[in-house]
Each structure stands twice: as C-alpha cells, then as structure tokens.
Chain A
Amino acid sequence: MNIYVYIFRRILYVIPVLLGVCLIIFVLFNLVSPDPTLMMLGRHATLKQMLELRHELGLDRSLPLQYLDIVKSAFTFDFGRSWSTKQEIVEMIRNGAIPSLTVTVPSFIIALAISLVIALFVAFYRGAWYDRFSVLICVGMMSLPSLAYILFGQKILAYDLGLFEISGYEHGFPAFIPYVILPCVIWIMLSIGPDVRFYRTVILDEVYMDYVRTARAKGLSETVILFKHVLKNAMIPIITWVVIQIPFLILGALLLESFFGIPGLGGITLNAINSADFPVVRAMTILSAVAYIIFSVITDVLYTLVDPRVRLK
C-alpha cells in the first residue's frame, strides 16, 4: 500500500472519531449542563420569557436536530453567533487566533530548538558534571509554579527594570512584538525543564542499545553515532511529544493571556465560560478536538517516514 492511500484511509478514520466527539459534546452541553436560559435571564425570569428565549436560541427543537447542528458545525466550522456578543463565532476565533499564535508559535519553536540542543549536548556528555547539573536545573525550573515566573517577570523585569511591557497588546506587525516578548520568554522557561528531561531520557534510552555498540565496533565516531544512529531512533518518541503539543498552541496560553491582557483565544474561552456563552465554549471544544485529531493523523504519517517498522497495512 502506498503512502497516499494510507493517508487517505487515515483521514477517513477521522469521520467516525469526529462524530463520536460531537456526540460527547452534545450530551455534555444539552443534557448534562443546566438550562442556559436560566443563567442568562437571572432568577426573576418568567416561564414565558424562558420559553421565548429557548425558541430564539433553537433549544426547543428536537434533540437529533440539535445534534446534527453540532456535527454540521464540526465539518463546516460554521458555529453560529455568540449568545452574549451576537458576533459571528468564526470571526471571533479569527480575531483571537492571531494574538494567541503570536505568543505560542515563536515560544514553541524556540523552546523546541533550545531543548533539543541542550538534550543532545548533555546526552553526549552523559554522566559528566554538566549532565547532572542540567538535571538539577531542569527539576528546579519545573518545581517553580508558572505564577512565580509571571509575577517575577512582570514585577522585576517589566515594572522595576522596565525591560518589557507589563501587559497589553497591539494588533498588527510589528506593533505586537514588544507585548509578546515577556510572555514568550516565560513560556520558554516553563517548557525547557520538562522538554530537556524528556529528550534526554529518550536519547539515553537509545544510547545503550546493541546497535550503538555495533556502530562503535565499525569504527564510527561518537558524533556520527549520536547524530545519525541514535537521533533517528529517538525521533519516534520526540515526534509524538512535539506534534501532540501543536493543537494547544492554537488554543493559546490561558494563564499567560489573562495575565498579560492578550486578546487571544484563551481569553475568549475564559470569558465565554464565565458568561455561559454555550456556542462559543462549544466552538472552542470542537475546534480543539478537530485540531487534536488532525495532528494525531499527522503524527501517524510522520511515523511511517521515520520508522520503517511501521508498515502500512
């Protein structure tokens, strides 16, 4: 079977998964959660008002029809309008995605590059003092809560030293850059600890394999062994780890966005939850599910490129 047929079939598998996800979302929002009209109208609402609002929102239609609406929105990305702002949700997502991505994408790429380089370096000199020192630093960095980084950054670096903007955002390139530097730095600091530890472990798992001994017996240098033989084997778990993080980049950094006043998707989601804006929350849930499914397909396809043992059948 060739790779295109494999990809096509893998994409076909997405359909039942997505239908299942829609069903879960439907059950959670329509059957389990309390009546949204009650929350919207307050406790002095009359039954007539509630019924009118239910009709207006389409909540009085039959359940299968409401389920179909969710399915339709998952495939067309037409999520309707927000209950509270009456805005097109697609428009809201489009506006929020860019500020989110301006923070998450650069942070993610820089953190990935830095962590991989550090991990390869310490794996190469495994057992030496800087290897053990790096583990110590990583654990230390992971032990500090993210709030500590945020408060330190905003108080010391931004307020006292005036190195960065404390919070806020401006749309358009390059106006946004000063506002995203500090959140990016904090994101990178938060990622490096777990990332380095993970990459280092993965690489060290490979270093003691028999094929590495064979490579040495052939006369290969340690550099070639690490960068050719070991790294290609280590790529398999690394790809999973990296690609599965990408959907979360789209959703934005919830905590960072709210602390730094960045009008991204994380903030939109948070507001929608607080105001019981069901269509927006639902749209964000569907969006993240779709992103997650798409990137797991991409992971599977990448496997077949890296690992010949993954056969397409």
Chain B
Amino acid sequence: MNEKLLEVKDLVVQFRTDRGKVTAVNGVDFELYKGQTLGIVGESGSGKSVTALSIMRLIPNPPGEIARGKIFFKGQNLLDIPLDEMRKIRGNKIAMIFQEPMTSLNPVFTVGNQIEEVFALHQQEISKSERRDKGIELLKMVGIPSPERRYLDYPHQMSGGMRQRVMIAMSLACRPDILIADEPSTALDVTIQAQILELMKKLQSDLGMAIIMITHDLGVVAETCDHVAVMYCGQIVEKSDIKTVFSRPRHPYTKGLLESIPSYDSTQNRAKGRLPTIEGMVPSLFDLPAGCSFQDRCKFVTQDCRGGKGIPQLENLAPDHAVSCFNPIVV
C-alpha cells in the first residue's frame, strides 16, 4: 500500500425531488491506494452507487448535485477541473462498469466498434488497423472464446456474462489506474458471477490497478476486497481492512449484516437454525431521525444516539479501523 490514488473528502450529494431536497450521500470520506480493492457495501439506497458515480462526475444534473466535498485523484481535485478535462480521465484513468450488462452496451453497434471507440478517444496515436488488433487482444484477455469472430458481434448476440466481459474489456482498454465496478456481478447467475469476480481479480493482479467494488453482497466483498467501507443512509458507518471487519465488527449494523449471511452446518447437513435478520426498515432519506440513522434498528441504542450528541462521526478506534457509533460493540 504505497501511492495514494484517490482521496474522497466530506462528499455530499443531493437530489432535488418533488418532495424536497434529499441527501443521498452525506459526508463520505475514504482513500484508495494503488493496487487496492476497496469494497463499498450497503443496502439499496445507502448511497454507494451515487458515491461511485460522483467520482466519475456522472451524477445526472438536474436533479442531482455534488453539494460539497473534494475528490482528489493523484492530488488533483476532480470536482474543480473543467468537464473537458474530466472526459479525458473518464474511461482512460478511471473506468467504470455497471450492474446492467444487458443494457449497458449500445445495441446498434458491434462490440468491436464500441471498444475501438475508447482507443480513438484516448489513444489517438494508435492507428486504425492496430486498434482492431488491440481490441481483439482485449477480448481474449477477458476470456471470450474465438475473439476474432466475436469482435464483430452485436451485444444482443451475447449472453449477459459475455456482455459483462465486453464491458470489462472496454473499461480496461486504456489500462486505467482505477476501475469502479458498480455491482458487476449482481445481474448474473451464480456460476457466471464467480467467473466474473475471478476474472476481475486476475486482471487486477496482472495490470495492478485499484478497484472500487460496489456491492450489497458481503460474499463478494470477502472474495475480492482487501478493504471495506460499510454504508448506511448515505454515510460510512464502519471502515477497515477486510479481516477486521469480518472478525471484529464494531458497528452494530455491520455485525447485523454479517449475522444475516446464511450459513450451512456441514456436520448436520442443514442450515444452522433460523436466519437472524436486522429488525425494522431503513428510514426514509426524507425524514432521517435526529442523531444516528440506525438508532431505531439498533439493540445497543443509548440516549446519546437519539440526537443528544448530534450525528455520530467516523472515529478511529484502532489504527485503520474507523467506526461511527456512540456505543460501539466491545470485542
């Protein structure tokens, strides 16, 4: 863990809606180092995708708006640079893949055409004929069989897994420093999911890029990440290396998430009793309670959590282990 690639500081993203302004991301901080895989976990609506889109400055505006914060990429604040400069970074230095492999590719252009577009945009020194060779090479790299033939295929001629491979190939065309993967395996069935994650791990070790893995699946985190940030209602509630989070979670929400992973008792050949859940519902972002947003679902709630001491902030409980909780679990 050497060079710091990305530093997000106090990021606040708001959306204007018919029911008023809603804060989807509320003061998120994290860093990403070269070669690292950072998992951002959370339920739907926790702000993880919005955080990812903010880094690319792809928040649709209107209705969305990055209200506050800084995103430093190699020391340069991405929120300060003109859009033209940002476009030179997108797909080149920072690339992104999405949850919906079925619809993320343009249906009326061949996959080859869509890959070559990235070269034409960011690496103009590559000649037209070379582009084709490099594109086919990329398809080979992501494990697409007979890439020369598949290069001329249209997206609808491919399965979801194949399309996600094409998306990965396209995102890696310029050997980015950072790959943001927004639920890359969620829409795929389990065997394909494992293949895609395996592929991403392999490509990361080959190319040495950093990955931000957005997911709601702690299994995916356990398999791929070395650091993890848990998000709840637009805030990071716990952030640490993967071992610490899985073995000694300090935030009650993280602990609840970990407990609600189904497990299997191999000696008795059946599931271990009733699956624990986190009681209650995620509060609406329109009326978050004063204080900690997890208070209504928390078994360890105290008077402090109800707004007496404001909103809990991330604090380092140990080196490289930050938790935002007034009454963290003692381990």
Taking Cβ atoms with an 8 Å cutoff, the residues of A that contact B are 127, 209-211, 213-221, 229, 232-233, 306-309
Contacts and interface: CB of A to CB of B under 8 A. Distances in A.
Interface string B97-115: 0101001111111100000
B170 A218 contact: yes
Nearest to B122: A219
Contact of A233 (B62, B104, B107, B122): B107
B90 A211 contact: no
B118 interface: yes
Scoring A218, A229, A308 by chain B CB atoms within 10 A of each residue's CB, the highest score goes to A218
A216 B62 CA distance: 16
A158 to B, nearest CB: 46
A312 B226 CA distance: 49
Contacts of A216: 56, 58, 90
Q: Is the interface of A mostly helix, strand, loop or mixed?
A: helix
28 contacts: A127-B62, A209-B103, A211-B103, A211-B105, A211-B107, A213-B104, A214-B104, A214-B105, A215-B106, A217-B56, A217-B90, A217-B91, A217-B171, A218-B95, A218-B118, A218-B121, A219-B88, A219-B89, A219-B90, A219-B92, A221-B87, A229-B106, A229-B109, A233-B107, A307-B108, A308-B108, A308-B154, A309-B107
B178 interface: no
B117 A213 contact: no
A309 B156 CA distance: 7
A220 B121 contact: yes
A213 B100 CA distance: 11
Scoring A209, A213, A219, A229 by chain B CB atoms within 10 A of each residue's CB, the highest score goes to A219
Contacts of B170: 218
Chain B interface extent, by class: 20 to 34
A306 B108 contact: yes
A307 B62 CA distance: 31
B96 A217 contact: yes
Contacts of B105: 211, 214
B167 interface: yes
Given A218-B118, A218-B121, A233 B96 contact: no
Interface string B118-162: 100110000000000000000000000000000000101000000
A220 B96 contact: no
Contacts of A213: 58, 98, 104
Contacts of A217: 56, 58, 90-91, 95-96, 98, 171
Nearest to B153: A308
B91 to A, nearest CB: 4
The 6 A-B residue pairs whose C-beta atoms are closest, nearest first, are A218-B91, A219-B90, A219-B91, A210-B103, A211-B106, A308-B154
Given A210-B103, A218-B170, A220-B87, 10 more contacts: A210-B100, A211-B103, A211-B107, A214-B104, A215-B106, A216-B90, A217-B58, A219-B89, A219-B92, A233-B106
Contacts of B106: 211, 214-215, 229, 232-233
A227 to B, nearest CB: 13
Given A211-B104, A214-B104, A308-B156, A219 B109 contact: no
Contacts of B100: 210
A218 B117 contact: yes
Nearest to B154: A308
Contacts of B88: 219
Contacts of B92: 219
A102 to B, nearest CB: 37
Given A210-B103, A211-B103, A219 B98 contact: no
A151 B59 CA distance: 50
Nearest to B115: A218
Given A213-B58, A309-B154, A220 B108 contact: no
Contacts of A210: 98, 100, 103-104
Contacts of B87: 219-221
A309 B121 CA distance: 27
Contact of A214 (B62, B98, B108): B98
Interface string B24-62: 000000000000000000000000000000001010001
A307 B170 CA distance: 22
A213 B109 CA distance: 15
A229 B170 CA distance: 16
Interface in B53-88: 56, 58, 62, 87-88
A233 B155 CA distance: 14
Contacts of B89: 219
Nearest to A127: B62
A39 B56 CA distance: 77
A213 B121 CA distance: 16
Scoring A217, A233, A309 by chain B CB atoms within 10 A of each residue's CB, the highest score goes to A217
A130 to B, nearest CB: 16
A31 B223 CA distance: 78
Interface string B212-224: 0000000000000
A306 B108 CA distance: 7
A36 to B, nearest CB: 53
A15 B56 CA distance: 56
Contacts of A219: 87-92, 118, 121-122
Contacts of A218: 90-91, 95, 117-118, 121, 170
B232 to A, nearest CB: 25
A309 B167 CA distance: 19
Nearest to B58: A216
